[in-house]
Amino acid sequence: MKLYPAIDMKDGKCVRLKQGEFKDITVYCDEPWKVARYFEENGASFIHLVDLDGALKGHSVNEESIKRIVSEVNIPCELGGGIRTVRDIERVLSYGINRVIIGTKAVSSPEFVREAVEKFGSEKIVIGVDAKDGFVAVEGWEQLSDKTALSMCLTMKELGVKHIVYTDISKDGMLAGPNVAMTKKLTDETGLDIIASGGVSGAEDLRSLAAAGIKGAIIGKAIYENRINIRDAVREFENQC
């Protein structure tokens, strides 16, 4: 199981939210590139980046921090938040980002996803499926759509998508455990690379995900709150790949 330590950025800083609420924010570091270097130095093989301002406003806000992160590490990074056009994808990839995560736009315009996969390849395009009460949320998690997580994943598969980041919003930033059952259901019923996001509180949660056959897990607050040692986690889970 691949691990994706996460760096969420707001106003150029490394932060964490609870359940996606912008009013409930904790700042962990003013220089997120230092966090990225720490991840790499401790064995991480991929970093998950989120431009929180971009997700809310629909355009990139933390470009300088993102560019700095990419320039300071030698491992691949994926980025989500505010990516709504082909030009956005081109710009982000030009920074040196390895994979681009599309969320809101994938819900409103599936044809955009098809175009992106055809133009950039399935290894460059990741779809973010963020769900609340079973339905996919959009616009920085501020609104709920009428699509279920499973129907969304199946639609994305038809469009050539291979990688999906699935977030249970109710779990995000709560250190209450991930939604293993739903992540397993999505993995089993789609055959896609479903990456679990939200709620990982310790190594036992990672063991539960791995035992369920989940392909990847994003870890955020548990690292920042010293509940997971990233070096130990990489040694235990990625070396099983």
Catalytic annotation present for 8? yes
In terms of DSSP bridges, do strands 2-10 and 13-18 run parallel, antiparallel, or are they unpaired? antiparallel
| Pure H helices in 73-202 | 86-94, 104-108, 110-120, 149-158, 180-190
Q: Kind and range of the H or E element at 209?
A: helix 203-211
The alpha carbons of the chain give a radius of gyration, in whole angstroms, of 16
- Three-state secondary-structure class, residue 189: helix
| Pure H helices in 42-195 | 52-57, 63-72, 86-94, 104-108, 110-120, 149-158, 180-190
From 8, 51, 53, 88, active-site residue:
8
> How many C-beta atoms surround the C-beta of residue 60 within 10 A?
18
Query: How far, in Å, CA of 31 to CA of 5, rounded?
Result: 16
From 51, 53, 88, 130, active-site residue:
130
Range 131-165 burial, b when 16+ CB lie within 10 A, else e: bbeeebbbbbbeebeebebbebbebbbebebbbbb
Active site (catalytic) residues = 8, 130
